[in-house]
Each structure stands twice: as structure tokens, then as C-alpha cells.
């Protein structure tokens, strides 16, 4: 390798001198390593464009430092992309933009009001009202509730049965109404008595004899209740969720505004350059692991095997989800384990150069309360890891990933157990339990459609938990058995527990939108 680098280093030094630059031996070695995979003609082209880029940087001295070289290479790799467009980005939950639905113009508008953790008391009801407004507008557009249209002289009612959505105040203003359908929050205002509540009022439900559609119906989720209303009580015949809506339909009501978050002013879904990169980068992968207990020696051994195995073909990112240690108040213990994690990558130079290591904390990790969205692990605890692996990123829980035009949500939460424990009606078909799970969060358009007592949420940052418009992939780090399910163009993936599943993990291939099941064997040759 060194024999091949010597003539290339000499060529780099001479080219830089002709352009008025001086380059130290360690920096010429770095650039030679970057150019070595190309043939002679390609190397000359790269040297030309790199020196042109350095001239445009207007360096203060003729000496070219490593930082200037890296900046030039990064900018040249982004040729064809507009300003603000990135191939891969991690988006903090606390920076996700908040949109409000404008009933007058029937569009979502960006809310630029400042947000804070300890917010005004009015936000306790406001965030639920905004969630209701989001679900209401897409429900009214659904074929079952859209206004009737006459086609070829035949009324739409004759073609398919239509429903008229009622508000709680419409029912409360009368004594009897047949075939009433109400959208509202499923809540228990009195012990043992359930109600459906919307901004206009609440109606008591009689669920005896009700037919439950697919999904988990927990207190705190929004439901469509259909039945006959009589003297203050709605006797429910069927209880279902608001209909899901494909992302392509939803985005029409946001325009080109960036609803996902990140640096770009417009949504990167529409970027032609990123679409081409996504199509051609067929080898790119993203690796997901959950329940990564760094305090267990066997887990550290398996992670070392994982890093060594991926050093020859680095993925775009490796996402590790907590808890990273057993629940403990000794925060310095976690720092020691994170330092050891950085040491596992010793010798894996290609992996550390090309792969982002993303840490997503669980509710058991320090030092934030058990409220979503959850702040990342403090940098002071991960200082050693950040030094050993500079591309490490400390993420919030949940967080968002953007790879080219694809949108990915990552959340570490044992949500399946919460659904099963709090549902009013357990699904009869237990063999399809993952379908019920996926349908619940997709139809609700929210990561935690459950009572705030069960899973508290920061009122001002509730939009960070929205799944509207639907992303391409939702990755749940739930300790139950792993699964994947597709609903309306959105894939819901549960990674399962790395510890409990004999060290299994998931690999996502963006080019084909496929998921591979992988496992670290007991012995690697």
C-alpha cells in the first residue's frame, strides 16, 4: 500500500505547488488514501477540482491543512445537490417544526411561536385539540365521509354508502339520532364509564355489544364511534380508528414546506438529485439494534464482532438504542461503558470514517425524566466515545433520520406492553398482533396514542411525535418479539431486544426499501 502511495503523494505535492499551495506529508498521505481507488485519469480530474475548490476557499496561508481538504472533498461529494440538501441527517425531536391546521384555507401553516418545556397551562388542552384537528381534516376527506357527488346521473349514495360525521354538540342538542358517527377522544370521565370527547362536548358510550375494528383501543386515543344515540347515551355498534391517509395525499396540504425538519427550507422528498443518489447507492445500509446493554461483557464482545465485520463494508449509520446499562443512579458508570464502546472500534478505521454511530436513550438512561420527547445522553458522559469515534451523534428519543428522500422515525419505547395492558378490547386474532400494533399508530398519526398518565408528553413538543404525513419507515425499539408490517406505504419495524433475541438486529436497505434479519453467531471464523 505504501509503495502505491509514494508516487501518488509526489504527484499531489507537485500539483499543489503549481497552484501555489504547500502541503505537509501527513496531509498528502490523507489525500492519497482518498484518491487511491481511482485510476490515473480520475485522479487527475479530482486533483484539478480539489485545487480549484481550495482556491475558492481563500485560505489565509499557502499551507493546506487537513480541515480545508476535508471541506473540499465534502463539498465536491455534494455536487448536484442544492443548498441545504444533505444525503444523511439526524434531526433532533426538539427542532421538529410545528404546524397548525387553518380551517379557513384548509392548509397547514407553520407555527413560529417559541416553545419551552415548562409551557403555558393552556397547552395542556391545545396539543390535544391540534391532534384532533389533524385527524378530523383527513377523516372528512375520506371516501366514506366526503360529500356526495353525482356521476352519470346516479347519486353517490346509490353507489356506496356515505356517512355524515357528527359533533358531540349535534347529539347533545337532540334526544334521538340513528346511525350517528362521532370522531373524538376515548376517555373515562367517570369510573367505569367511557365517553367520546371533541372540542364541542362529550357523549357517554355504551360499549356492550360493540364490534371493535382492528387495533388497540386505549384510553387517550381517538376513535370513530358509530351507533344509535338515545337520551344522552350513544349505543355503539362499531368502534374504529380514523382512516389512514397515504403520505402523498397528506403532503398536498403542506405545500413544499419542510415538515420533516433539518436545514433545508423545502421538503427533500422532491429533490431530483437526492432521488438519483438514492437509486444509485444500492450498497447503502442502516443498522438498528435495541436494548444494547453495555454493562454486559457478552454484549460488548458481540458489538466488537459487529464493528469488525462492518469495517470492510461500512453502513451509512449504526443506530444503538438503550437502555445502555441497568437502571442506576451512578451516572459515571455509564461514562465508563461508553468509553469502552469507543475502544471496541479500535482498528476499524474505515467504519469510524464513513459510519455515523447514533445513540438513542431509553427511559432508564440518565439524565432526563420519563417524558417524551426525551433529551439525549449528556455530552459529558460520552466525551470519551466522541473522541474515539468522531462521527458519534447523541440523539433524542424519538428522533428522525433523513436519508436522501426517505424519512425514518426511530423511537425506543416498550409500547406493545402498554397497548396490551391498557386496551379496552384485546384483538381476537393474536397471530396478527403486529398488524394491530402498526395499524394503531398509523391510523392515529402519532407514536404514543395513549393516556398521558401512561406515557407523559411535553405539551409544546407533541408534534415531534406526529406520524403525519406518514414517514417511509417507523423503527420501534420494543423489547417484544421483532416484526415488520406495511400500512399505506409506511413500514413499521420493531427491532426486538438485542440481548433477548440471541443478538439479532435489523438492516435496512434504502435503495430497495427492504429489511434484512441479521444475527451475530456464537463463533466467527
What pLDDT, in 10s, does the model give residues 459-488? 999 999 999 999 999 999 999 999 999 999
Q: What is the mean pLDDT of residues 287-305?
A: 96
pLDDT in the model for residue 525 = 45
How far is Cα 435 from Cα 292, in angstroms, rounded to an integer?
Answer: 26
pLDDT band at 77 (very low <50, low <70, confident <90, very high): low
Q: Poorest-confidence range of 100-104, 177-181, 264-268, 453-457?
A: 264-268
Phi, psi of 485 (to 5 degrees): -150, 140
**Across residues 199-211, what is the average pLDDT?**
96
pLDDT at position 3 is 62
pLDDT value, residue 38: 79
389-419 pLDDT per residue, tens: 999 999 999 999 999 999 999 999 999 999 9
Residue 186 has pLDDT above 80, yes or no: yes
> What are the pLDDT digits (tens) for 119-166?
999 999 999 999 999 999 999 999 888 776 655 555 545 555 678 999
Structural domain boundaries of the chain? 2-77
What is the spatial distance between Cα 411 and Cα 373, in angstroms, rounded to a whole number? 9
Q: How confident is the model at residue 1 (pLDDT cuts 50, 70, 90)?
A: very low
Reported confidence tier of residue 83, pLDDT bands at 50, 70, 90: low
What topology is assigned to 2-77 in CATH? Answer: Helicase, Ruva Protein; domain 3 (1.10.8)
Asked if 443 and 218 touch (Cβ cutoff 8 Å), the reply is no
Three-state secondary structure call for residue 247: helix
- Residue 223 CA to residue 182 CA, distance in Å, equals 8
Tell me the average pLDDT across 286-309.
96
pTM of the model: 0.85
pLDDT, mean over the chain? 91
| CB of 72 closer than 8 Å to CB of 54 | yes
Torsion of CA 40, 44, 47, 51, to 10 degrees: 170
Of 286, 259, 329, 316, the residue nearest 495 (C-alpha): 286
| Positive or negative: CA dihedral 130, 136, 138, 141 | negative
Q: Is 4 exposed, middle or buried (0-12, 13-18, 19+ CB in 10 A)?
A: exposed
Q: What's residue 521's pLDDT? A: 87
pLDDT digits (tens, 9 = 90+) for 12-56: 999 988 888 899 888 888 888 888 877 888 888 888 888 888 887
pLDDT at site 159: 53
pLDDT at residue 60, rounded to an integer: 82
Please check the confidence at residue 450 and state whether its pLDDT lies above 70.
yes
Give the chain's length.
525
Beta bridge partners of residue 494, listed in sequence order: 476, 483
pLDDT of 301 > 70? The answer is: yes
Adjacency order of strands within the sheet including 356-360:
392-394, 356-360, 317-321, 286-289, 504-509, 514-519
Question: Quick one: pLDDT at residue 61?
Answer: 86
Q: Mutual orientation of helices 25-35 and 40-56 as an angle, nearest 10°?
A: 130
Share of the chain above pLDDT 90, in %: 70
Is the predicted pLDDT of residue 111 greater than 50, yes or no?
yes
Contacts of the segment 119-124: beta carbons below 8 A, 24+ positions apart: 119/458, 119/459, 119/460, 123/459, 123/460, 124/459
Q: What grid cell was written down for 383?
A: 466525551
The answer, yes or no, to whether residue 358 has pLDDT greater than 80, is yes
Copy the grid coordinates of residue 267: 421538503
pLDDT tens, residue by residue, 345-356: 999 999 999 999
How distant is the alpha carbon of residue 325 from its chain centre? 23
Amino acid at each position: 500500500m505504501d509503495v502505491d502511495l509514494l508516487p501518488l503523494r509526489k504527484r499531489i505535492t507537485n500539483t499543489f505547488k503549481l497552484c501555489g499551495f504547500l502541503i505537509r506529508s501527513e496531509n498528502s498521505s490523507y489525500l492519497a488514501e482518498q484518491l487511491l481507488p481511482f485510476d490515473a485519469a480520475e485522479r487527475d480530474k479530482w486533483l484539478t477540482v480539489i485545487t480549484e475548490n481550495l482556491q475558492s476557499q481563500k485560505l489565509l496561508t499557502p499551507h493546506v491543512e487537513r480541515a480545508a481538504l476535508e471541506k473540499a472533498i465534502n463539498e465536491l461529494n455534494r455536487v448536484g445537490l442544492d443548498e441545504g440538501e444533505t444525503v444523511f441527517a439526524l434531526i433532533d425531536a426538539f427542532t421538529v417544526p410545528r404546524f397548525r391546521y387553518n380551517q379557513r384555507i384548509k392548509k397547514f401553516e407553520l407555527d413560529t411561536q417559541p416553545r419551552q418545556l415548562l409551557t403555558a397551562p393552556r397547552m395542556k388542552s391545545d396539543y390535544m385539540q391540534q391532534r384532533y384537528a389533524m385527524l378530523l381534516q383527513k377523516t372528512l376527506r375520506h371516501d366514506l365521509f366526503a360529500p356526495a357527488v353525482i356521476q352519470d346521473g346516479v347519486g353517490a349514495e346509490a353507489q356506496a354508502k356515505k356517512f355524515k360525521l357528527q359533533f358531540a354538540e349535534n347529539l347533545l342538542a337532540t334526544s334521538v339520532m340513528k346511525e350517528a358517527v362521532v370522531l373524538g377522544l376515548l376517555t373515562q370521565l367517570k369510573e367505569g364509564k367511557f365517553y367520546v370527547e371533541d372540542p364541542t362536548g362529550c357523549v357517554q358510550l355504551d360499549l356492550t355489544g360493540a364490534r371493535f375494528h382492528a387495533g388497540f383501543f386505549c384510553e387517550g386515543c381517538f376513535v370513530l364511534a358509530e351507533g344509535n344515540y338515545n337520551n344522552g347515551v350513544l349505543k355503539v355498534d362499531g368502534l374504529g380508528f380514523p382512516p389512514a391517509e397515504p403520505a402523498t395525499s397528506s403532503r398536498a396540504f403542506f405545500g413544499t414546506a419542510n415538515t420533516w425538519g433539518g436545514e433545508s427550507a423545502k421538503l427533500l422528498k422532491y429533490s431530483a438529485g437526492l432521488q438519483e443518489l438514492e437509486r444509485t447507492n444500492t450498497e447503502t445500509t442502516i443498522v438498528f439494534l435495541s436494548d444494547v446493554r453495555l454493562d454486559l461483557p457478552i454484549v460488548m464482545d458481540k458489538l466488537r464482532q459487529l464493528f469488525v465485520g462492518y469495517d470492510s463494508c461500512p453502513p451509512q449509520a449504526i443506530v444503538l438504542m438503550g437502555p445502555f446499562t441497568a437502571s442506576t443512579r451512578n451516572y459515571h458508570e455509564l461514562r465508563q461503558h461508553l468509553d469502552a464502546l469507543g475502544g471496541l472500534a479500535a482498528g476499524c478505521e474505515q467504519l469510524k470514517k464513513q459510519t455515523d454511530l447514533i445513540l438513542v436513550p431509553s427511559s432508564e438512561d440518565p439524565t432526563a425524566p420519563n417524558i417524551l420527547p426525551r433529551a439525549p445522553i449528556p455530552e459529558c458522559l460520552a466525551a470519551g466515545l466522541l473522541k474515539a469515534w468522531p462521527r458519534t451523534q447523541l440523539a433524542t428519543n424519538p428522533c428522525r433520520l433523513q436519508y436522501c428522500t426517505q424519512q425514518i422515525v426511530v423511537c425506543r419505547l416498550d409500547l406493545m406492553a402498554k397497548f396490551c395492558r391498557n386496551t379496552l378490547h384485546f384483538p381476537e386474532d393474536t397471530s396478527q398482533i403486529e398488524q394491530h400494533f402498526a395499524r394503531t399508530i398509523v391510523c392515529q398519526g402519532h407514536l404514543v396514542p395513549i393516556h398521558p398518565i401512561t406515557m407523559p408528553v411535553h405539551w409544546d413538543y407533541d408534534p415531534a411525535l406526529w406520524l403525519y404525513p406518514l414517514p417511509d419507515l417507523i423503527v420501534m425499539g420494543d423489547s417484544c418479539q421483532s416484526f415488520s408490517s406495511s400500512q399505506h406505504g409506511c413500514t413499521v419495524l420493531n427491532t426486538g431486544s438485542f440481548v433477548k433475541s440471541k443478538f439479532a438486529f435489523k438492516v435496512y436497505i434504502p435503495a430497495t426499501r427492504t429489511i434484512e434479519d441479521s444475527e451475530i453467531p456464537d463463533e466467527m471464523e
